[in-house]
Amino acid sequence: MTEATEAPLVDADRQAVEAIRSALNAALRGKTDVIEHVLACLLARGHLLIEDLPGLGKTTLAKAMARVIGGRFARVQCTPDLLPGDITGFRVFDQKTREFEFLPGPVFADVLLADEINRATPRTQSALLEAMAERQVTVDSVRHVLSGTFFVIATQNPVEQHGTYPLPEAQLDRFAMKLRIGYPGRLDELAMLAAAVGSGEDQETTPIEPIGHGRLRGLQEHVAGVAVGPMVAEYLVDLAAATRGHRQVTLGLSPRGLLTWQRLAQAQAFLDGRAFVTPDDVQAVARPVLDVRLGVEPEAASRVVSEVLDSVPVPVYPKARRA
Amino acid sequence: MSAEEHRRGRQAVGLTIALAAIGVASLELALRGMTHSTGLALLRAGGLVAAMLAAFALLGRGRGDRGRLPTRRETIALLVLAALPFAWHPARIAVLGGGVMPETMLLEGLRNLGLGLAALSRKPMAGRLAAVVALFGVLAGSSLVEGQVMTVMAGTFAVIGAGWLLAGYWLGLPTCRAPRGRLPLAGAAVALGGTAAMLAIAAVGPTTAAAALAGLFPSSGGTDWSDPEARSGVGDGPNEVDARDSADSVGFSQSEVYLETDQPSLYDAFSETFGEPMKKKQEKAIALGPTEIQRRREHPSEDHRAGREFSTHRKPPGPRDPPGAEADALLYVRGRAPAHLRLVAYDTFDGESWAEGPPSPNDARLRGEGPESPWLRVEATARPYLSGRVTHRVKVGLLETASIPSPAHLERFRVGSVNRVDFYEWAQPGVLRMSGRSIPPGTVIDTEARSPLPESLRRLAFSQRPGDAFLRYSQVDECPPVLLRLASDWSAGVPRGWRQVEAVVAHLRGHCSFDRAATPPEGCPDVMAHFLEDTRRGPDYLFATAAALMLRSLGYPTRVVGGLYVDPKRYDPVARHVAVASGDAHLWVEVQVPGGDWVAVEPTPGFELMPPVRSPLDRVLAGLGSAGKWAGRNAAGLGFVAVGIGLLAWRRRDVLDRAWTLAWCLATRVGAPSRAVLATLRLVERRASLAGRARTIGETPSRWCGGIVASAPDHLGGDLRALVRLAQWSAYAPGPLPSDVDCRALCRRVVRGWTLRTFRSITPTDNLPRELAS
């Protein structure tokens, strides 16, 4: 069993998590479930893929996140003519110094919003692979390390498919989860309209107290230390095997996906104030984790995930004790 | 699942069930169509399909379809279904008195498997297997059954099968891509198996392989089964050479039957076994009285030439030859032993010799079972004292006889393929023979007879004044006084009827001992007195004569029957038959019971009658009778047990709850608090399960608890939530439980609060899926 930290959520941690949660809830009204998943993804050092229609608050969410963690925000609007160098940066010849100088691209931000990522060519999409997986980029054989809290929020439009390049499985597996924001409720929209009356164009002027990079890194390290008992680990493995054996799943959960699922479950337990993971945590993050990486027909995804969760017994009583 | 997928899935399941139903009907036609009518076979198939549909509906109630493959339990159930015919076979032999061929059991097992798979056809793999089994069933039915019904079913199967394939194709479209990186193990195994089989066939040659395959089907090579469904097998030799199948064939049975042979007859066997009859020193003419003349006129056709009478004045038998080779046997008998095979019946006794009765043309009528069937049926009046069916297969060896060696109470028989009634006649009542010819060696005779039950015979009412038949079978004119005295003594105090017959025979068996060499001396004036009083030893014909005369003196019509005794001691376990030699020639007694039938009794010690074989109905009735008697003797105890079982069944949930609570008390008395917490949660889950609120497979305790607590009182809900939190801690946390919580007190509160009654009070009435899951 993984060593557990003594208290997963000390007061400072609780305050930091609450600050992030409040900032994100203020930016995206009425989407507490989505915010919780985003929080878990952030604390698990994962990247987020949001598949939804335009105008639902994806950029707002990304900007709010960048502000609350006190980092730099960058946005890339992906188009077919976007080049890898436009994301990673490139070297230019400086006429004054007579040397090549590296101009960092948007990937060097703390929060990167890659809007409509499926409109970029596969070549450009793959430029994000190294950045997302290893938090570094290599340009002209020179390795450049990214921010320790580097966080990618990519979006794609589920409706328009003309002129798009669907993300390959290898790219999808780099994302920790896929979320759909959805339309806000009626009351939330009324509140949003009321808040917009009299406010300026630039909503980023709303004061948000950043928690700082170091604080976020500390939270992420605490999450990594949340204990995962042997029964829960076996449960995770059984679930992964169930995805691989399901008749409608052509691509089951990869070991990397399994690791990501565990880390997200740890983050979920951390957010619930526990020092150990329970099957509830595993199930809470199952849907967004599996949505992004299971090879399954989109309309059947929800049912397949339910079937997988319903088919694997939840371990409660240790086998040794049962005997 | 989308509505379209639902619809396609239902279509595929429906088509699978239709295919399975046709497969079952085809197999039933193949299994029963030859012995029962087509309608009955289809009716039976309908019943089986109805049972399958009931199981299908039951399995589908309130459950989501999970997985493609049957679960482990379902697989075990399928295997049990397939093995049922084999497991049931010994019981079938015991209850029904006969078994079935291994092929029949295989087909029945396959039918059961198909039914089980069809009931599980919501699972795709089970459905596909059900269709494969159904295809085999239709192929088997098509090859075994002829008729329009089978043709229609095969055509329907083809049409539905095409639809089933289309449905399967549509369903398989989204998942037709095979997962990468996985070896096709099943396909490789099939390919390897096929290659190995081809190599083996090539190595041994096709002829040997075909012979080996044929060996897998016992009816083609010969077993001890006789089944009317078998189309070929042992016993068909005469059929091939009797010129009955083909006009070009010439059978030895038709050509050699008229040849003079040196084969021993029954007369020879009697002479060899019992010794030659003594020659009468002189014969003199005597005047007959009017009664005797009248009696002679009644039987003008009686022929007292040698071989049609049996003298009780015989020389001692010569030195017995050592038992010869089995090839010297007179008959080879397969079937129940001991058995008495009738060959001749003697009904008149002149004080010295028994003489055969005349032919009895008015005896039971013979009736063929159809032009294609070699079997003939004996039409006799109802005989309520007969019970189970006894089958024998007799192969004629060296015996030269026209009489058909058969046990008493014959119902059906076949002699080779000779199914013409005019080839047979009754030599004496119950003794059948071929008219005008003897049975050729090598002929196989199958017989089906019924077994008399002693208890039923004892219930028969014998009349005080015997009927007309008594006149013929009751000559006691020259009965020695000693015989009359013993008969009177032995029957004294025994009510008239079969019990009296049994009493006399039993006393006789104990009074004298069997000694084949102890023949009366030449010139003995009273053989019976010498046998019963002087030596009290003698051969079986003296026992038979004494018993017959004693019973006649008591008013029972009797006759002495000669034939062959099938001795179980001579059973050959390898050949699985009894070789009957001339030393097995035997005489016994038959008593005429009300109705005119002749029932054997065995007066000679050392020889036994066949134990009674009871029909299934008689067995059931006997079992019920015994059970009733036993129940009557133990009524009080049974009443207590019945009340106890009823109470247990009625309050089974409460009883289980008490037992589990007791186990919880014992388990939580000692040990770590975390163990007590988990044991408490398990107890609560079990109570919930009894009340129909079981936690489902993929449900976490906290989710389950949330659903339960929502409809429970607050104070109870808080305790249960706390217990679940502690249980999570116990199960998943690395460290011990927090010390500031009194776990044991909480556990006790939960156990007292969340009783079975509590769960029942909050159980919604429409929660069928959970009740099923429990």
CB contact (8 A) between residue B700 and residue A229 = no
- Letter string b/e over residues B29-49, b meaning 16 or more CB atoms within 10 A of that residue's CB: bbbbbeeeebeebbebbeebb
**Higher-pLDDT residue of B171, B499:** B499
β pairing state of B410-415 and B376-379: antiparallel
CB contact (8 A) between residue B174 and residue A299 = no
Is A165:A119 a contact under the CB 8 Å cutoff? Answer: yes
CB contact (8 A) between residue A276 and residue B733 = yes
d(CA B695, CA B688): 8
Per-residue model confidence (pLDDT) at position B767: 47
Over residues B300-323, the pLDDT tens digits come to: 444 444 457 788 878 777 766 555
pLDDT band at A156 (very low <50, low <70, confident <90, very high): confident
A-B C-beta contacts closer than 8 Å: 87
- Residues from chain B that touch A315, judged by Cβ atoms under 8 A, are 731
Over residues B255-295, the pLDDT tens digits come to: 444 444 566 777 777 777 777 776 655 556 667 777 666 66
Helix, strand or coil, per DSSP, at residue A184: coil
- Which amino acid, one-letter code, is at B361? P
d(CA B276, CA B367): 40
d(CA B452, CA B122): 53
Chain A residues with a Cβ under 8 Å from any Cβ in chain B: 1-4, 227, 229, 231-232, 244, 247-248, 250-252, 275-280, 283, 297, 299-300, 303, 307, 309-318, 321
Is B644:B655 a contact under the CB 8 Å cutoff? Answer: no
d(CA B149, CA B155): 10
Min Cα distance A93 → chain B (Å) is 48
Does position A260 have pLDDT exceeding 80, yes or no?
yes
- Residues from chain A that touch B723, judged by Cβ atoms under 8 A, are none
One DSSP character per residue, B225-273 reads ---TT-SS-TT-HHHHHSSSS-TT---HHHHSTTS-----BHHHHHHHH
Residue with tokens 């028969």: B460
CB contact (8 A) between residue B733 and residue A227 = yes
Q: E strand or H helix at A292, and its extent?
A: helix A286-293
Is B266:B562 a contact under the CB 8 Å cutoff? Answer: yes
pLDDT band at B641 (very low <50, low <70, confident <90, very high): very high
Rounded to the nearest 5°, which phi and psi values hold at B529? -65, -40
Residue with tokens 């309130």: B62
CB contact (8 A) between residue B678 and residue A4 = no
CB contact (8 A) between residue B733 and residue A307 = no
CB contact (8 A) between residue B702 and residue A277 = no
- Best of A6, A253, A305, A321 to substitute, by most chain B Cβ atoms within 10 angstroms, is A321
- Residues from chain A that touch B681, judged by Cβ atoms under 8 A, are 316
- Which amino acid, one-letter code, is at B701? P
d(CA A248, CA A239): 15
Q: E strand or H helix at A63, and its extent?
A: helix A58-68
- Torsion of Cα atoms, A258 then A263 then A265 then A267, to 10°: -160
- Residues from chain B that touch A276, judged by Cβ atoms under 8 A, are 729, 732-734
Over residues B679-709, the pLDDT tens digits come to: 999 999 999 988 888 888 899 999 999 888 8
CB contact (8 A) between residue B702 and residue A310 = no
Is B413:B446 a contact under the CB 8 Å cutoff? Answer: yes
**Higher-pLDDT residue of A36, B291:** A36
Rounded to the nearest 5°, which phi and psi values hold at A56? -100, 0
β pairing state of B365-368 and B386-396: unpaired
- Best of B4, B65, B695, B732 to substitute, by most chain A Cβ atoms within 10 angstroms, is B732
Q: Does B216 touch chain A (CB under 8 A)?
A: no
- Torsion of Cα atoms, B1 then B6 then B9 then B14, to 10°: 150
Min Cα distance A282 → chain B (Å) is 10
Per-residue model confidence (pLDDT) at position B169: 79
d(CA B415, CA B420): 10
> Structure tokens of B55?
């199981």
- Best of A2, A248, A278 to substitute, by most chain B Cβ atoms within 10 angstroms, is A278
Per-residue model confidence (pLDDT) at position A5: 40
Cis preceding-peptide flag for B338 (omega within 30 of 0): yes
Is A125:A165 a contact under the CB 8 Å cutoff? Answer: yes
Is B680:B747 a contact under the CB 8 Å cutoff? Answer: yes
Q: Which residue of B has its CA nearest to A244?
A: B179
Min Cα distance A302 → chain B (Å) is 9
Percent of chain A with pLDDT strictly greater than 70: 93
Rounded to 5°, angle at Cα B626 from B622 and B630: 170
Q: Which residue of A has its CA nearest to B725?
A: A278
- Residues from chain A that touch B732, judged by Cβ atoms under 8 A, are 227, 229, 231-232, 276-279
Rounded to the nearest 5°, which phi and psi values hold at B425? -150, 165
Average pLDDT, chain B: 80
Beta bridge partners of B414: B446
CB contact (8 A) between residue B697 and residue A313 = yes
> Structure tokens of B100?
């079935």
pLDDT band at B172 (very low <50, low <70, confident <90, very high): low
Handedness of CA B298, B300, B304, B309 (dihedral sign): negative
Residue with tokens 């878990």: A40
Radius of gyration (Cα) for chain B, nearest Å? Answer: 38
Min Cα distance A323 → chain B (Å) is 13
CB contact (8 A) between residue B64 and residue A310 = yes
Is B29:B150 a contact under the CB 8 Å cutoff? Answer: yes
Is A314:B699 a contact under the CB 8 Å cutoff? Answer: yes
- Identify which of B620, B619, B602 has the alpha carbon closest to the alpha carbon of residue B610: B602
d(CA B277, CA A250): 96
Per-residue model confidence (pLDDT) at position B251: 44
> Structure tokens of A54?
């335009």
Q: What is the DSSP letter of B526?
A: -
- Residues from chain A that touch B735, judged by Cβ atoms under 8 A, are 4
Complex ipTM above 0.90?
no
**Higher-pLDDT residue of B372, B465:** B372
- Letter string b/e over residues B265-285, b meaning 16 or more CB atoms within 10 A of that residue's CB: bbbbbbbbbbbebbeeeeeee
Q: What is the DSSP letter of A68?
A: H
β pairing state of A177-179 and A48-51: parallel
> Structure tokens of B110?
């396959």
One DSSP character per residue, B94-160 reads HHHS----HHHHHHHHHHHHHHHHHHTTTSHHHHHHHHHHHHHHHHHHHHH--SHHHHHHHHHHHHH
One DSSP character per residue, A129-154 reads HHHHHHSEEEETTEEEE--TT-EEEE
Q: Which residue of B has its CA nearest to A4?
A: B734
Does position B472 have pLDDT exceeding 70, yes or no?
no
When pLDDT is averaged across residues B85-97 and rounded to a whole number, the result is: 80
Does position B157 have pLDDT exceeding 90, yes or no?
yes
Does position B540 have pLDDT exceeding 50, yes or no?
yes
Over residues B25-57, the pLDDT tens digits come to: 999 988 887 677 888 888 999 999 999 999 988
Q: What is the DSSP letter of A294?
A: -
CA distances from A119 to A24, A90, A97, A165 (A): 27, 21, 38, 6
Q: Which residue of A has its CA nearest to B63?
A: A310
Min Cα distance B83 → chain A (Å) is 30
Q: Which residue of B has its CA nearest to A238?
A: B698
> Structure tokens of B249?
């064939």
Residue with tokens 């996985």: B182
> Structure tokens of B111?
């039918």
Does position A3 have pLDDT exceeding 50, yes or no?
no
d(CA B696, CA B701): 10
pLDDT band at B365 (very low <50, low <70, confident <90, very high): confident
Whole-model pTM over 0.80: no
d(CA B508, CA B502): 10
Chain B from 111 to 170: CB within 8 A of any A CB: 124
- Which amino acid, one-letter code, is at B404? I
Over residues B651-685, the pLDDT tens digits come to: 999 999 999 999 999 888 888 888 899 999 999 99
Question: CB burial class (10 A; 0-12, 13-18, 19+) of residue B499?
Answer: middle
Average pLDDT, chain A: 86
Q: Which residue of A has its CA nearest to B682?
A: A317
Handedness of CA A81, A82, A83, A86 (dihedral sign): positive
CB contact (8 A) between residue B734 and residue A315 = no
One DSSP character per residue, A216-278 reads HHHHHHHHHTSB--HHHHHHHHHHHHHHHH-TT-SB---HHHHHHHHHHHHHHHHHTT-SB--
CB contact (8 A) between residue A317 and residue B697 = no
When pLDDT is averaged across residues B435-448 and rounded to a whole number, the result is: 85
> Structure tokens of B538?
């003698």
* Orientation angle between helical segments A213-224 and A32-43, nearest 10 degrees: 90
Q: Does B174 touch chain A (CB under 8 A)?
A: yes
When pLDDT is averaged across residues A202-211 and rounded to a whole number, the result is: 65
Does position A127 have pLDDT exceeding 80, yes or no?
yes
Q: Does B181 touch chain A (CB under 8 A)?
A: no
> Structure tokens of B587?
């005489």
- Identify which of B375, B416, B425, B380 has the alpha carbon closest to the alpha carbon of residue B395: B416
Minimal Cβ distance to A278: which of B696, B699, B732: B732
CB contact (8 A) between residue A248 and residue B699 = no
